[in-house]
Amino acid sequence: MANIDPLSGRSLFVELLAEGTSIGSATGFVVQSTAGPLLVTNWHVLSGLNPDTRQPLSQSGAVPDCLRLVHHSTTLGTWVTREETLLGQDGEPRWLEHTRGEAVDVAALPLQEIDSEVQLRPLDLSLADTDMVPEIAMPVSIIGFPLGLTGPGVFPIWKTGHIASEPQLDYAGQPTFLIDATTRGGMSGSPVVIKMSGGYKTRSGKYTLAGGVKTLFLGIYSGRIRRDSEIGKVWRPEAIRDVLARA
């Protein structure tokens, strides 16, 4: 399939299951680690709990015990589903979380149900090191599945917003910053990027032309800070790397 943006192949549709019943949906993406492939998403997605109150997010009170992931198959534009259990035989969570636990709403689940029909398309975290300085009011893309909706097939939907707080400064004492975007449920766990084809500032303080399209990975989206607001939270790549370091 020509002219498909590579990042459209990175976000995966995640369905949350409790005893076989669907209780919601979210987004995730795969990264490679020394321990094998990991699904990166939010802590609240895997636990099914509000990270501030530890109360169930589902109106039914259920929490997920399994994820149904829609993976790419060997031909781009075809998909296969696989289910990943969230608890080990000892009943303990299988996912990796930050040393600060749910205070950092990022988690990674080791993938076990990978076979020859599954074509992993990992997100390259080195995109976080692109020599581009994100600035306030810059446009960003959140790549996920709002309300469980998909683009053609099971490709994600790209939503656009803007950086709403100084991205190099911690919001609420956490490795996060804010974006202003019309997001909806199902987008938790979405990668957030800047794609720039004009000019931007490098770390040396100089402005340069992109010379094509340059991409900067900004982090992982975890939802709005209030239901009556369009302001959402993005966890910076350092938070993801801290989780991956525990693999």
CA gap 177, 135 in Å, rounded: 11
CA gap 186, 57 in Å, rounded: 13
Tokens of 24: 């919601």
Predicted confidence band of residue 197 (pLDDT cuts 50, 70, 90): confident
Question: Dihedral (C-alpha) 173, 174, 177, 183: value to the nearest 10 degrees?
Answer: -120
Which structural domains are found in the chain, ordered by start?
6-110 (2.40.10), 125-244 (2.40.10.10)
CA gap 238, 236 in Å, rounded: 5
- Mean pLDDT of all residues in 222-233: 94
CA gap 85, 66 in Å, rounded: 4
pLDDT at 2: 62
What is the full DSSP assignment across 174-204?
A: BSEEEEEE---TT-TT-EEEEEESSEEE-TT
Contact 190, 143 (CB under 8 A): yes
> Has residue 208 got a pLDDT over 70?
yes
Predicted confidence band of residue 200 (pLDDT cuts 50, 70, 90): confident
Q: Which residue has the higher pLDDT, 210 or 52?
A: 52
Q: How far is CA 69 from CA 4, 59, 160, in A?
A: 21, 22, 24
> Above pLDDT 90, what percent of the chain?
88
Encode pLDDT of 54-73 as tens digits. 999 999 999 999 999 999 99
Predicted confidence band of residue 198 (pLDDT cuts 50, 70, 90): confident
**CB burial of residue 229 (10 Å; 0-12, 13-18, 19+):** exposed
> Has residue 34 got a pLDDT over 60?
yes
> Has residue 211 got a pLDDT over 80?
no
Encode pLDDT of 86-129 as tens digits. 999 998 999 999 999 999 999 999 999 999 999 999 999 999 99
Predicted confidence band of residue 206 (pLDDT cuts 50, 70, 90): confident
